[in-house]
């Protein structure tokens, strides 16, 4: 016989009550899961040859291997690269037409595997062409204004600055165009809904002191932080967000049929391009950004896991929520565990890709610099040091990946509590999270702390150099080793970021973590500096973009045209 207490317990189940934003999220995820895409079966689509596509696909894989970036940015980067080649490099010898540029762009994206073959409607060419046209017009107007200033500039230094400014503005505008094209090619209603919901919650939960000078920028900074931490936007994409923010009608220019009216609007933007650029740069480097990112990172994780839990089966997720707190918490727990496993899998994949990237772009310097330098300075070539410097980056990265732990159950419990806070009615944060200005240290205190930090860095270097000297490293080999140590130490932060972003439980401080922060963190900071400067000097990127890519793409176009000709001849024979 069933216990009466058990029956009473089941009857007293309280279903969870979601807030309006979460209900809308359920509805959109459900409608997207059941929406049948209208592919326009009878409409013409862009189709490229399979053989030629394979060649372009392999080229893009190799090209991306020498410029490490996250997977979701690869297509946007490819769009930007194609636009720069077509407009800046090839635009010198031929007139740039938005229609041809759009067709060429979409064709290259399909060949490179960034878009599916025989699936993109040909009318998309016209859509992208109209979008590109406004950027080309804006570029031409801005360049014309700079050229006018160049004509009246007498001194050489002033002319050099204007030429540099012209090049920078052209690249910036083409990057903005690439971001809008990426947005056009990959609209995502679910992410758009989550961004809106997250913004509503964060605008309610985050506050500044009444005397803060940044109050007017808080909302846009929250929005940018959501872009960084949830959408994983890079600086170009954040610039595009701000560009739209300061030009409210920019996206609607495509709908204006009157060409004169459209040109007038573009002219207004061109006249204040310097002001726009400065405003955007100020917002990107805003003092609130770092503090906001720490808060927004947690909320981004809550919404991301909530969306994943719903997306797997919206009907089942809602049903579990109506069965009470426990079944819904179990669903979130399962989603978290799957997320942890996926992060670990992506970590290994990113690690392998990073090892290839480091080998192609950095280890080659062992042969190009270390061996000739040792001979030049009359040092003895140490095979052991050479082998260590070649293998060390991969081994260090592998070691770091092996010791990167996935989050535990206490982390999952905090995520469940955070999701209930942002998703359920009546569970909202009652007290706002205040972002307080950092306390300024006195000059003497700051000087002493910097001195201790520098001493720890010097001691770390001394210890490493002593060990390397003991195994007969030459001073050239020691410099190469230290370079790799700093670079890979910083690079490991990027590679392991996917796992660390799932962690919201604060790290337990102990003597070991203190010593690591004191003696190892300065090396990571040096690695960050080296990474930023070395990325500008990546000879492989220059080699691919200016030596290989343009001739290769021309060859691909000719090959595509030839295969089309052969196909037409074969069809004529059969008819």
pLDDT digits (tens, 9 = 90+) for 304-326: 999 999 998 899 999 998 988 89
- Mean pLDDT (the chain, rounded): 82
The pLDDT of residue 4 is above 50: no
- Looking at residue 539, its pLDDT comes to 52
Q: What confidence tens digit (pLDDT) does each residue in 339-393 have?
A: 999 988 888 887 787 777 776 665 666 666 666 766 676 666 667 777 777 777 7
- Looking at residue 5, its pLDDT comes to 46
Strands (E), 88-187: none
Residues 6+ apart with CB under 8 A from 61: none
Q: What confidence tens digit (pLDDT) does each residue in 432-448 have?
A: 888 877 777 777 888 88
Map residue 249 onto helix, strand or coil.
Answer: coil
- Looking at residue 560, its pLDDT comes to 62
Residue 346: closest CA among 302, 295, 404, 392: 404
The pLDDT of residue 420 is above 90: yes
Q: What confidence tens digit (pLDDT) does each residue in 221-235 have?
A: 999 999 999 999 999
Lowest mean pLDDT of 171-175, 325-329, 371-375, name the range: 371-375
- Looking at residue 561, its pLDDT comes to 61
For residue 45, the cross-strand partners are: 121
Count of CB atoms situated within 10 Å of the CB of 58: 12
Residues 6+ apart with CB under 8 A from 183: 240
- Looking at residue 440, its pLDDT comes to 73
Rounded-to-integer distance, Cα 412 and Cα 397, Å = 27
- Reported as type and span, the H/E element at residue 206 is strand 206-207
Rounded-to-integer distance, Cα 143 and Cα 163, Å = 10
Rounded-to-integer distance, Cα 98 and Cα 164, Å = 25
The pLDDT of residue 426 is above 50: yes
Residue 113 backbone class (left: φ over 0; alpha: ψ -120 to 50; beta: rest): left
**CB–CB of 279/175 below 8 Å?**
no
C-alpha 151 chain-centroid distance: 40
Question: In the structure, what pLDDT confidence band is assigned to residue 453 with cuts at 50, 70 and 90?
Answer: confident
**CB–CB of 15/324 below 8 Å?**
yes
Give φ, ψ of 478 to 5 degrees. -65, -45
- Looking at residue 569, its pLDDT comes to 62
- In the 3-class helix/strand/coil scheme, how is 527-572 assigned residue by residue? HHHHHHHHHHHCHHHHHHHHHHHHHHHHHHHHHHHHHHHHHHHHHH
DSSP state of 12: T
Residue 363: closest CA among 333, 336, 335, 388: 388
Question: In the structure, what pLDDT confidence band is assigned to residue 9 with cuts at 50, 70 and 90?
Answer: very low
* pTM, rounded to two decimals: 0.82
């Amino acid at each position: 016989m069933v216990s009466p207490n058990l029956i009473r317990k089941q009857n007293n189940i309280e279903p969870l009550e979601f807030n309006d934003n979460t209900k809308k999220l359920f509805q959109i995820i459900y409608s997207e899961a059941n929406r049948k895409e209208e592919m326009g079966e009878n409409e013409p689509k862009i189709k490229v040859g399979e053989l030629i596509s394979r060649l372009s696909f392999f080229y893009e894989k190799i090209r991306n291997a020498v410029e490490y970036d996250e997977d979701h940015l690869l297509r946007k980067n490819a769009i930007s690269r194609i636009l720069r080649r077509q407009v800046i490099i090839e635009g010198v010898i031929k007139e740039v037409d938005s229609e041809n540029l759009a067709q060429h762009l979409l064709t290259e994206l399909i060949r490179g595997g960034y878009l599916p073959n025989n699936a993109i409607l040909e009318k998309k060419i016209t859509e992208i062409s109209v979008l590109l046209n406004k950027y080309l017009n804006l570029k031409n107007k801005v360049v014309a204004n700079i050229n006018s200033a160049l004509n009246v500039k007498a001194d050489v230094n002033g002319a050099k600055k204007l030429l540099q400014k012209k090049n920078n503005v052209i690249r910036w505008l083409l990057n903005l165009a690439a971001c809008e094209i990426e947005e056009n090619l990959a609209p995502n209603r679910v992410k758009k809904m989550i961004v809106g919901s997250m913004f509503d919650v964060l605008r309610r939960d985050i506050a500044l002191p009444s005397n803060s000078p940044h109050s007017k920028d808080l909302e846009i900074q929250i929005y940018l932080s959501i872009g960084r931490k949830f959408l994983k936007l890079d600086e170009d994409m954040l610039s595009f967000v701000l560009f739209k923010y300061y030009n409210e009608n920019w996206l609607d220019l495509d709908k204006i049929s009157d060409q004169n009216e459209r040109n007038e609007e573009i002219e207004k933007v061109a006249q204040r391009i310097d002001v726009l650029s400065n405003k955007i740069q100020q917002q990107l480097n805003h003092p609130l950004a770092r503090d906001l990112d720490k808060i927004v990172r947690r909320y981004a994780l809550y919404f991301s896991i909530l969306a994943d839990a719903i997306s797997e089966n919206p009907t089942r997720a809602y049903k579990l929520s109506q069965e009470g707190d426990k079944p819904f918490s179990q669903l979130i727990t399962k989603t978290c565990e799957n997320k942890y496993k996926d992060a670990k899998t992506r970590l290994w994949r990113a690690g392998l890709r990073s090892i290839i990237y480091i080998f192609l772009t950095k280890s080659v310097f062992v042969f190009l610099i270390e061996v000739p330098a040792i001979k030049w300075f009359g040092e003895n070539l140490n095979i052991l040091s050479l082998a260590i410097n070649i293998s060390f980056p991969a081994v260090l990265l592998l070691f770091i990946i092996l010791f990167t732990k996935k989050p535990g159950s206490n982390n999952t419990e905090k995520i469940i509590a955070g999701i209930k806070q942002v998703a359920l009615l009546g569970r909202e944060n009652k007290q706002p999270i205040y972002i307080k200005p950092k306390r300024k240290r006195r000059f003497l205190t700051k000087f002493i702390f910097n001195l201790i930090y520098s001493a720890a860095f010097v001691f770390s270097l001394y210890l490493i150099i002593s060990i390397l000297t003991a195994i007969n490293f030459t001073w050239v080999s020691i410099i190469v080793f230290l370079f790799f140590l700093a670079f890979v130490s910083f690079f490991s932060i990027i590679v392991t970021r996917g796992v660390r972003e799932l962690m919201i439980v604060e790290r337990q401080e102990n003597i070991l973590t203190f010593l690591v922060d004191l003696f190892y963190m300065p090396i990571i900071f040096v690695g960050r500096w080296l990474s930023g400067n070395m990325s500008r000097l990546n000879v492989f990127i220059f080699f691919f973009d200016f030596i290989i890519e343009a001739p290769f793409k021309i060859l691909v176009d000719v090959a595509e045209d030839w295969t089309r000709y052969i196909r037409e001849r074969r069809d004529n024979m059969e008819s």
